[in-house]
Amino acid sequence: MFDLLAKPCRAGAALALAAAIALPAEAASWDELVAAGKEDGSVVVAGPSFAHLRDWIVKNFEADTGIEVEWKPLVGGPGPFTASLMREADAGNITTDVYIGGTTSCFNFTRKPDVVVNLREVVSLPDVLDGSKWRGGGLRVQTGTDDDRDNDDFWCFIQTADWVMGDLFVNTEMVEPGSITSWKDLLDPKWKGKIIAHDPRRPGAGQATAAYLYSKFGQDFVKQLYVGQEAALGTSYGKNPEAVATGKYPIGIAFVQAAVERYRSKGLPIERVFPEDGMGLATGGFSGIAALNGPHKASRAAFVNWFLTKETQGAVQCLLLEQSIRNDLDSYDCIPEYVRPKPGVAYPIHDYEKGHHFGPKSELRANIATIFGK
């Protein structure tokens, strides 16, 4: 069981603590990282397509370092970017230096050699490497590669946040409070054609929630819910929750809180529901960071270390509304209550765990055509 409060990290075959494995041999000062990065002049970062996140990162990294940021937004989720990256890898011309996003793409990056750079060779700031600054006693790193998943010496990416996925939302003026207590309640014929979901056919929040449901209830349930109930499948993280908040649809699946809060802050009637048979998927959300084998080695190192600092994590967690794993931040009050782990509740399925990724989630992806048709 994965209890985010009592056991923020499971060591071993899934996410490992950097404190428990070999750390980089040398630490670098911030001034040294910046000086080297300025020689590159710029860094290319692929990240979530939230303008407020992009604007803050670009403005503040450039102000702190004098290094220009080119931001590649993951429009339509990480799938299109991953496909483009693989084509660049085949051509021997990777143009992106850093990736910020979810675990699926990070795992996919390792399928080709030399796409991902070992973060053990990149992370060097003493403050970042200090295990006491992180919940669980160290950086939470995903180790291994696709062909050697138990290789603890290779850091594929670092998870910087942990929270409970926004799996199910309702418009409280259209759905009677307390009427949905089980995921299976959504199969009621009265909800046919009245559900909107983030598209589970591509990597992202929609696929994360669908894999969670696949793991808990099986393929038939997933097909009944999405296909049998004629759920509308959308790819926009912003427009999907808007459709529920404004009453176009009474029920929504796989929403991200950074978008939901736009409408809640306006007083619109959108709230999260916690079915008793599935309280939520534990996840790192958009918080994974990977170093790619792009052209700007030094500025890549400066950016990755900067992203992991207290100051940046404190800001990013409030921009994405994903609770940082750093335990020395001034406040966590910006995080919505409905994505915080509930005391006494165990979350047995974690989207960032290898067992889930290479098990139920991979099975779901392999059966996309069977479930949803071509």
Q: How far apart are the first and last CA of the chain?
A: 36
Cα 167 to Cα 210: distance, rounded to the nearest angstrom: 9
15-163+283-341 and 166-280+365-372 share one CATH topology?
yes
Phi, psi of 83 (to 5 degrees): -60, -45
Q: What is the predicted pLDDT for the residue at 78? A: 82
Nearest of 254, 261, 265, 312 to residue 287 by alpha carbon: 312
Cα 321 to Cα 161: distance, rounded to the nearest angstrom: 10
Do 233 and 193 touch, CB atoms closer than 8 A?
A: no
Query: CA separation (Å) from 37 to 286, 291, 302, 340?
Result: 25, 14, 6, 36
Q: What is the predicted pLDDT for the residue at 151? A: 67
Which CATH architecture fits 166-280+365-372?
A: 3-Layer(aba) Sandwich (3.40)
Q: What is the predicted pLDDT for the residue at 8? A: 28
Structure tokens at 205: 């929040």
Q: What is the predicted pLDDT for the residue at 203? A: 86
Prediction pTM value: 0.84
For residue 263, the one-letter residue type is Y
Q: Does domain 15-163+283-341 have CATH number 3.40.50.300?
A: no
Cα 32 to Cα 54: distance, rounded to the nearest angstrom: 25
Tell me, what DSSP letter sits at residue 145?
A: B
Nearest of 144, 182, 142 to residue 351 by alpha carbon: 142
Hey, where are the domains in the chain?
A: 15-163+283-341, 166-280+365-372
Tell me the pLDDT of the chain (374 aa) as tens digits.
333 432 222 233 345 555 444 455 366 799 999 999 999 999 999 999 889 999 999 999 999 999 999 999 998 778 889 999 999 999 999 999 999 998 777 777 777 778 999 999 999 999 999 999 999 999 998 876 555 555 678 888 899 999 999 899 999 999 987 899 999 999 999 999 999 999 999 988 999 999 999 999 999 999 999 999 999 999 998 999 999 999 999 999 999 999 999 999 999 999 999 999 999 999 998 899 999 999 999 999 999 999 999 999 999 999 999 999 999 998 899 999 999 988 888 899 999 888 898 899 999 999 999 999 96
